[in-house]
Amino acid sequence: MSSKEIIRMTNQRRIILEELKKVTSHPTADEVYRMVRERLPKISLGTIYRNLDILSESGLIQKLEIGGSQKRFDAKLEDHYHIRCTKCGAIGDIPKRPVPGLEDVFSGALDYEITGHRIELIGICPDCRD
C-alpha cells in the first residue's frame, strides 16, 4: 500500500482511530488493543497490529519509532515534536511549532535528499521527578 492511499474505513479501523484521537499518550499497540477491546471485545491483537499499520501507511495516523522503544501511535497529524521520559517511557507532545527551514541548515552538508525531520527531546517527566 502506498503512502496516503485511500483505504476502506471498516468499523474496526474507525473505532481504532476514534480511540487514538481520545488520547495524547501515544499508546503502544498493546495499549490500543486494551482501549479498543472495551468497544470490540472479540477483536484480536493481530487485527489491531494490522489495522494500525494500514492506518499509518495510509497517512491517517503516525507511527512513532522513538528512542528504540516499542512503536507508538499518534492521531495528531500536524507536524510536531515529542518529549520522552527516560525513566517511565512516557511520550508527550511539545507545544511549540516545528522549526521552519531546519532541513535547509543541513542540506548542503549531507549527501542526502532531506524530506523532513523529527525531533525527540528526552528528560524526566513530572511524575518520575517527584
Domain count, the chain: 2
Work out the pLDDT band at 11, boundaries 50, 70, 90: very high
**Residue 36 domain-assigned?**
yes
C-alpha Rg value of the chain to the nearest Å: 16
Note whether residue 3 is domain-resident. Answer: no
Does residue 4 lie in a domain region? no
- Whole-number pLDDT of residue 3: 47
Q: What is the mean pLDDT of residues 21-44?
A: 95
Tell me the three cell numbers of residue 52. Answer: 494500525
Q: Per-residue b/e over 82-111, b at no fewer than 16 CB within 10 Å?
A: bbbbeeebbbbeeeeeeeeeeeeeeeeeee
Q: What is the CATH number of the domain that holds 42?
A: 1.10.10.10
